[in-house]
Amino acid sequence: MALLAPLAAALLATGCASTHFVTPQPAAATHLPDAQADMHVAESALEAGDTQLAMSLFGKQLKADPQSKAAQLGLGDTMYQSGDLARAGVLYARVAAIAPDDARAMLGLARVALRQRRLDEAEKRYRQLLATHPEHAVAAEGLGATLDLQGKHAQAQAVYRAALQQHPEVAGLKADLGLSLILGGEVRAGANVLLDVAGLPDAPPQARENLALAYGLLGNNEAARRILVTDMPPDSAEDNLRFYRQLRERLAAPGPDAGGAGGAGAAGMAETRPVSAASVAPVGVLR
């Protein structure tokens, strides 16, 4: 959760100048803790996925203070999580216009560009974010996901590995590295990376899905099925297995578009089922 911007202190009236009495007005002072409480609840609701409550509270605060950077960013994150990318982008851009170095606004604009598949812009924004905040894993995850979607798997893997040197505990980075290796044609290496993370309590769901993909591409349908049925109905698992089989056959087929898993087949994988946690994550801000 990002740090809340300080709210303006309420002014107390000092009474009429024609008398010797000072008449304080405590009612205005009660607004400050109420506003702070609303913002805390709104941020907690956003983190918990309760977008309706978050939208209501952030909107209330923005109506009371149209210049509140915290309310604009919070509402932007809520719109992003709700899938309203256009409105989220407008809110992030408003903050960036007055605070170009605001990390949360930078992250928001990068994520919107990534989700809208404006990949050149997303790469530029994530690189700027990572340059100013090299210690934050979320920036590395976003840049790596963008590079993978552009087919720049070697570059993406270098980004993930560099970030893992600083943050070996971040499961999302390992999951994304595993997926990147699969997309780059190193399916067995990707499976080995994903095996280390898929069973962890905090592993993103994408880690298990992408491990199932690796097993499917290696022809181990039973292992893939066992993973899939833990997260989806059997019929959906069978649909995924059929997809894996079709993809495996496509990658193995000779022809001008084959070129191994690192060619057109890998591009097809990136555009269909496999996903990076960073490319879809609705929350997670620079702290």
> pLDDT digits over 171-210, tens only?
999 999 999 999 999 999 999 999 999 888 878 888 999 9
Query: Quick check: is 267 in a domain?
Result: no
Residue 230 above 50 pLDDT? yes
Query: Quick check: is 74 in a domain?
Result: yes
Tokens representing residue 66 in the block:
């149209």
Average the pLDDT over 108-126 and give the result.
96
Query: Quick check: is 148 in a domain?
Result: no
The total of structural domains in the chain comes to: 1
Residue 271 above 60 pLDDT? no
- 141 near 174, Cβ under 8 Å? no
Residue 157 above 50 pLDDT? yes
Q: CA 54, 60, 64: angle at the middle one, nearest 5?
A: 145
Q: Is 11 exposed, middle or buried (0-12, 13-18, 19+ CB in 10 A)?
A: exposed
Domain of 56, CATH number, reads 1.25.40.10
Q: What is the CA radius of gyration of the chain?
A: 24
DSSP string, 183-199: HTT-HHHHHHHHHHHHT
Most confident of 117-121, 198-202, 255-259: 117-121
pLDDT at 97: 96
Residue 259 above 60 pLDDT? no
Mean pLDDT, rounded, of the chain: 81
> pLDDT digits over 9-49, tens only?
322 222 333 333 333 444 444 445 577 887 888 888 888 88
Query: Quick check: is 78 in a domain?
Result: yes
Instruction: Name which residue leads in pLDDT, 56 or 261.
Output: 56
Q: Which domain holds residue 106?
A: 33-112
Residue 255 above 90 pLDDT? no
Report pTM.
Answer: 0.77
pLDDT at 263: 44
What Å distances lie between residue 181 and 216, 233, 248, CA to CA?
15, 28, 16
Average the pLDDT over 119-143 and give the result.
95
C-alpha 2/C-alpha 284 separation (Å) is 9
Confidence of residue 250 (pLDDT cuts 50, 70, 90): confident
pLDDT at 203: 80
Query: Quick check: is 204 in a domain?
Result: no
pLDDT at 202: 76
Residue 4 above 50 pLDDT? no
Interhelix angle 171-183/187-198, rounded to 10 degrees, is 160
Query: Quick check: is 226 in a domain?
Result: no
Instruction: Name which residue leads in pLDDT, 224 or 271.
Output: 224
Query: Quick check: is 90 in a domain?
Result: yes
Tokens representing residue 115 in the block:
């989700």
Residue 254 above 90 pLDDT? no
pLDDT at 269: 52
**What share of the chain in percent tops pLDDT 70?**
77
Query: Quick check: is 77 in a domain?
Result: yes
Reported as half-sphere exposure (CB side, CA atoms, 13 A), residue 22 has a value of 5
Tokens representing residue 215 in the block:
């097993």
What Å distances lie between residue 196 and 77, 172, 181, 249, CA to CA?
31, 12, 14, 27
